[in-house]
């Protein structure tokens, strides 16, 4: 077989060692993914059924990459039958099959971070706790770490240690919050990210027959990025591998960068205990980077105390020294990077997609974006606000979720009054109260509002009923309409389409287009629906719930521009597993990288150092590290200083450069102008290409629109829209007390006595200008103002 000839000795040994427990310690750039893919190919070539293979990755991106690679080297469609994906997605699928055992419906919702946060906020508020002491973020991260370590609310609340710890930390109610949070998730038929692993553990613990079923199925288990697995994941893998004990884990302890999320290097040590006869293979030859880069990276990582011994080396050329560049401030830094990129492209004839810029925090991308736009450099930002996090997408998805799972409380709260249908906070409070006092659920109340006593007025009751009927109608269509048909039906039937279409601001147009894109994605899903194992005919039907299940764990939309020729901008965390010929790491400053929050302990600083190591080892040919002396942060210019990590690179691999020599004119300029007016400085000296900043363009348009408000055309337009609104208002004819006249003397509860100067508008929108004796002139909408006419 020719593919084995493409491997070095260590790689080949790892690939052909199929049976038993295997640990592959793979240095950066040593062909880890190659080993994993070839290993799977080798299994398939040795008559292992694809259905018996489980391959777990850390990110969706890694899963997709591995799938693509395997498809290329394995003939036929066999690779599609491998259970491959992130821990979360693979076990979410299993949970869908087994959820009823745990008291969850098959169509349980998966709460994302935003849902979890919103829920915990509600709970904190309901408990009347101070959200400064119980900050939603800190509460959530503690809950997450408990779940990751498989500590249930009951266990927590019966442990004196935990309770005392909370008392000491002035957060005695934490245990209660944890319990309530889990209860509410359960009532909503929802699982959060951690639940997907936690509940899998519960399932395997409480149902040995189910565990056995999957143990039998998964004869071969492979785990990528093992250094970043947490305890919950470790235990699932251990349980599943117990029967066949064919388990292969691949990782690099030097690249463990997710301990903040519960990742535990101990898992590597536990591996030795759990499988005493395991075989270890070390991949130490680096094929990616120049000698300079490999050795510089080694010189950094050796400052860490705890690590598995290995010697990463390379046969590649020595290559250029690393440039460490001192810049004046963040703008100068971004401009410098943009300049060097242009120069590199110009002199080497390489493409933009050979270049990547890494940073520690997402917020650093903004300045880079601005400079790149001005210099006409095409770029793509990875991570940050993803497509599915956009408001308009979340709103629509919430309708889908509520349709699929009527218990989904977060989805319910999101859409109950969107688009506005006159059901506000007060009504929801009354609804919840009515449900509680009548000992039933809100849907029963909404559907039969007159059967239960409540404070909800009649008009609102009708609205609630309409909403409930509407959603139930969608739910009933789940198996009648396919995903696309139902999704577009919901989009237009709820008025979302009209709402977005009517908003002709540039942002509104973008939102409309995003919804169109989502619908297109759903259409594509419905048209190309494929099922691995046909269990029943229903499984063949591309229903909306199947679509939502599929994408609820995906954060990035499939990118059609991925092969476009652009520079890649991303955080160092997102860079893991990637490689580029030219790499920039920017903002390498104390308090930023290493992050200020990590300076508390040696462990955390070592993790930051590993992150730096990951960044360095992404580079193939050239590495440029930048830092600035001043950085704009929290709306303020703050002094910055070179990171300790720069000093840790063996200086024989480094050339130090400063922009103040190259751009001394900028320097002078900044002294006079910088602190006063960043925009001036920003625009200085740089050719503004036709590659325009979209947001700036939008801002300009918005301004024009505001000015144009007074133009006759606009006014006419506005009148038409208004008229339409008025006609559509049910209470159009309900004019109420209508007989106001100019000159009338009136009384207002707040403003006291006054006289009407002028009346305008009709019906609902009737307005009065009133000159009050003590408060001057006020414009009041009569519907709300509750004026009393004074007889004189």
Partner DNA sequence: AGTGATCAGATTTTT
Partner DNA sequence: TCTGATCACT
Contacts to DNA by CB under 7 A? 58-61, 86-89, 113, 121, 125, 132, 135, 137, 193-194, 257-258, 260-261, 360-363, 383, 417, 420-427, 460, 553, 555, 571, 573-574, 595-598, 633-635, 678, 750, 767, 778-781, 784-785
Q: Which is nearer to DNA, 512 or 593 (CB)?
A: 593
Contacts of 342 (CB under 8 A, 6+ apart): 375, 377
Q: Tokens 């759990």 belong to which residue?
A: 274
What is residue 599's three-state secondary structure? coil
| Nearest-approach distance from CB 467 to DNA, in angstroms | 12
Residues 632-657: b if buried by 16+ CB within 10 A, e if exposed: beeeeeeebebbbbbebbeeebbeee
Contacts of 788 (CB under 8 A, 6+ apart): 746, 747, 748
Peptide bond into 419 cis (omega under 30): yes
User: Per DSSP, which regions of 4-71 are E strands?
Assistant: 21-26, 53-57
Q: Which is nearer to DNA, 64 or 472 (CB)?
A: 64
| Nearest-approach distance from CB 264 to DNA, in angstroms | 14
Q: How far is CA 3 from the centre of its chain?
A: 38
Q: Which is nearer to DNA, 551 or 553 (CB)?
A: 553
Annotation says 112 is catalytic: no
Question: What are the beta bridge partners of residue 585?
Answer: 358, 625
Cα–Cα distance, 485 to 490 (Å, whole number): 9
Long-range contacts of 340-343 (CB under 8 A, 24+ apart): 340/584, 340/624, 341/372, 341/375, 341/377, 341/567, 341/582, 342/375, 342/377
Could you write out the DSSP letters of every residue in 213-238?
Answer: HHHHH-SEEEESSGGG-BHHHHHHHH
Retrieve residue 745's tokens.
């003397």
Which residue in 215, 233, 255, 617 is the catalytic one?
255
Q: Which is nearer to DNA, 50 or 553 (CB)?
A: 553
Q: Which is nearer to DNA, 260 or 656 (CB)?
A: 260
Q: How far is CA 636 from the centre of its chain?
A: 27
Q: Which is nearer to DNA, 572 or 646 (CB)?
A: 572
The closest alpha carbon to 285, from 36, 25, 39, 29, belongs to 29
Which residue in 225, 330, 606, 620 is the catalytic one?
225
Cα–Cα distance, 400 to 525 (Å, whole number): 15
Annotation says 463 is catalytic: no
**C-alpha distances out from residue 693 to 185, 632, 707, Å:** 42, 20, 22
Which residue in 192, 224, 333, 392 is the catalytic one?
224
Helix or strand holding residue 251 (H, E) = strand 247-251
**DSSP annotation of 416:** T
| Nearest-approach distance from CB 419 to DNA, in angstroms | 8
| Nearest-approach distance from CB 69 to DNA, in angstroms | 18
**C-alpha distances out from residue 769 to 399, 469, 493, 759, 763, Å:** 42, 42, 39, 6, 16
| Nearest-approach distance from CB 778 to DNA, in angstroms | 5
Q: Which is nearer to DNA, 319 or 577 (CB)?
A: 577
| Nearest-approach distance from CB 691 to DNA, in angstroms | 20
Q: Which is nearer to DNA, 430 or 472 (CB)?
A: 430
| Nearest-approach distance from CB 449 to DNA, in angstroms | 14
Annotation says 255 is catalytic: yes
Q: Tokens 């709402």 belong to which residue?
A: 499
| Nearest-approach distance from CB 105 to DNA, in angstroms | 22
Using only the alpha carbons of the chain, give its radius of gyration. 31
Helices (H) and strands (E) in the chain, counts: 34, 24
| Nearest-approach distance from CB 331 to DNA, in angstroms | 12
Contact between 403 and 544 under an 8 Å Cβ cutoff? The reply is yes
The closest alpha carbon to 281, from 609, 21, 607, 617, belongs to 21
Retrieve residue 728's tokens.
């559509």
Which residue in 12, 32, 288, 631 is the catalytic one?
32
Annotation says 533 is catalytic: no
Cα–Cα distance, 414 to 394 (Å, whole number): 9
Q: Which is nearer to DNA, 148 or 321 (CB)?
A: 148
**What do you get for the CA distance between the two ends of the chain, in Å?**
106
Annotation says 128 is catalytic: no
| Nearest-approach distance from CB 316 to DNA, in angstroms | 29
**C-alpha distances out from residue 531 to 260, 348, 522, 534, 537, Å:** 37, 47, 16, 6, 11
Which residue in 147, 199, 481, 618 is the catalytic one?
618
Q: Which is nearer to DNA, 90 or 526 (CB)?
A: 90
Annotation says 165 is catalytic: no
| Nearest-approach distance from CB 574 to DNA, in angstroms | 4
Contact between 787 and 780 under an 8 Å Cβ cutoff? The reply is yes
Q: Which is nearer to DNA, 113 or 790 (CB)?
A: 113
| Nearest-approach distance from CB 428 to DNA, in angstroms | 8
Q: What are phi and psi of 581, to 5 degrees?
A: -60, -45
Helix or strand holding residue 111 (H, E) = strand 109-111
Q: Which is nearer to DNA, 484 or 751 (CB)?
A: 751
Q: Which is nearer to DNA, 244 or 573 (CB)?
A: 573
Contact between 377 and 341 under an 8 Å Cβ cutoff? The reply is yes
Contacts of 189 (CB under 8 A, 6+ apart): 104, 105, 107, 108, 109, 405, 407, 408
Supply angle C-alpha 493, 494, 500, rounded to 5: 105
The sheet carrying 355-359 orders its strands as 379-381, 567-571, 355-359, 580-585, 619-628, 322-327, 654-658
Length of the chain: 792
| Nearest-approach distance from CB 384 to DNA, in angstroms | 8
Report the catalytic residues: 32-33, 224-225, 255, 618
């Amino acid at each position: 077989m020719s593919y084995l000839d493409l491997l070095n000795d260590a790689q080949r040994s790892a690939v052909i060692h199929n049976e038993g427990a295997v640990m592959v310690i793979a240095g950066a750039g040593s062909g880890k993914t190659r080993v994993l893919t070839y290993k799977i190919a080798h299994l398939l070539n040795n008559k292992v059924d694809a259905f018996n293979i489980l391959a777990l990755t850390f990110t969706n991106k890694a899963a997709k990459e591995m799938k693509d690679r395997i498809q290329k080297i394995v003939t036929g469609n066999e690779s599609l039958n491998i259970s491959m994906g992130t821990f979360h997605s693979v076990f979410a699928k299993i949970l869908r099959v087994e959820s009823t055992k745990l008291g969850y419906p098959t169509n349980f919702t998966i709460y994302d971070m935003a849902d979890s946060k919103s829920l915990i906020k509600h709970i904190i508020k309901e408990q009347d706790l101070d959200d400064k002491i119980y900050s939603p973020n800190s509460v959530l991260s503690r809950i997450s770490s408990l779940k990751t370590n498989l500590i249930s609310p009951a266990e927590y609340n019966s442990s004196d240690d935990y309770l005392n710890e909370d008392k000491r930390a002035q957060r005695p109610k934490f245990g209660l919050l944890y319990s309530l949070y889990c209860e509410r998730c359960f009532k909503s038929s929802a699982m959060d990210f951690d639940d997907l692993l936690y509940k899998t553990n519960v399932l395997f613990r409480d149902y040995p027959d189910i565990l056995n079923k999957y143990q039998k199925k998964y004869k071969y288990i492979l785990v990528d990025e093992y250094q970043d697995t947490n305890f919950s994941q470790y235990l699932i893998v251990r349980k599943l591998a117990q029967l066949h004990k064919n388990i292969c884990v691949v990782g690099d302890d030097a690249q463990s960068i997710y301990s903040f999320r519960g990742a535990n290097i101990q898992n590597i040590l536990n591996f030795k205990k759990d499988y005493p006869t395991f075989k270890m293979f070390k991949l130490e030859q680096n094929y990616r980077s120049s000698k300079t880069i490999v050795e510089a990276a080694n010189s950094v990582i050796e400052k860490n105390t705890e690590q598995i011994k290995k010697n990463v080396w390379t046969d590649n050329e020595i290559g250029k020294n690393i440039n460490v560049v001192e810049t004046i401030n963040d703008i100068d830094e971004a401009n410098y990077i943009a300049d060097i990129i242009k120069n590199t492209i110009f002199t080497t004839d390489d493409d933009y997609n050979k270049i990547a810029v890494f940073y520690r925090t997402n917020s650093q991308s903004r300045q880079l974006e601005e400079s790149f736009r001005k210099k006409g450099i095409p770029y793509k930002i990875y991570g940050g606000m993803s497509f599915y996090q956009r408001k308009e997408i979340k709103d629509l998805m919430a309708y889908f979720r509520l349709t699929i799972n009527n218990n989904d409380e977060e989805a319910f709260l999101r859409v109950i009054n969107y688009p506005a249908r006159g059901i506000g906070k007060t009504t929801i409070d009354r609804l919840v109260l009515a449900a509680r006092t009548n000992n039933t659920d809100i849907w029963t109340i909404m559907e039969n509002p007159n059967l239960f006593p409540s404070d909800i007025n009649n008009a609102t009751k009708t609205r609630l009923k309409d909403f409930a009927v509407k959603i139930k109608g969608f739910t009933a269509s789940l198996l009648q309409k396919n995903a696309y048909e139902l999704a577009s039906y919901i989009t237009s039937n709820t008025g979302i389409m009209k709402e977005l279409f009517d908003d002709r601001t540039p942002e509104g147009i973008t939102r409309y287009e995003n919804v169109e894109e989502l619908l297109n994605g759903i259409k594509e899903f419905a048209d190309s629906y494929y099922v691995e194992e046909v269990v029943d005919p229903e499984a063949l039907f591309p229903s909306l719930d199947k679509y939502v299940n599929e994408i609820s764990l995906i954060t990035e939309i499939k990118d059609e521009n991925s092969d476009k020729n652009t520079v890649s901008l991303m955080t160092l965390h997102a860079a893991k597993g990637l490689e580029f010929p030219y790499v920039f790491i920017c903002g390498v400053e104390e308090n930023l990288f290493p992050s200020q929050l990590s300076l508390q302990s040696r462990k955390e600083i070592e993790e930051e150092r590993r992150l730096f190591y990951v960044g360095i080892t992404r580079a193939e040919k050239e590495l440029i590290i930048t830092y600035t002396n001043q950085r704009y942060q929290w709306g303020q210019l703050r002094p910055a200083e070179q990171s300790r990590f720069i000093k840790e690179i063996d200086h024989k691999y480094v050339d130090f450069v400063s922009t103040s020599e190259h751009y001394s004119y900028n320097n002078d300029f900044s002294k006079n102008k910088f602190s006063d007016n960043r925009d001036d400085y920003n625009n200085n000296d740089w050719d503004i290409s036709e590659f325009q900043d979209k947001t700036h363009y939008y801002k300009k348009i918005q301004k024009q629109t505001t000015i144009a408000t007074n133009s006759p055309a606009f006014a006419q337009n506005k009148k038409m829209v208004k008229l339409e609104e008025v006609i559509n208002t049910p209470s159009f004819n309900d004019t109420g007390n209508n007989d106001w006249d100019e000159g009338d003397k009136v009384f207002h509860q707040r403003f006291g006595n006054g006289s009407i100067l002028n009346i305008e508008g009709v019906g609902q929108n009737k307005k009065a200008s009133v000159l009050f004796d003590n408060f001057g002139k006020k414009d009041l909408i009569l519907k709300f103002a509750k004026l009393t006419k004074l007889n004189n």
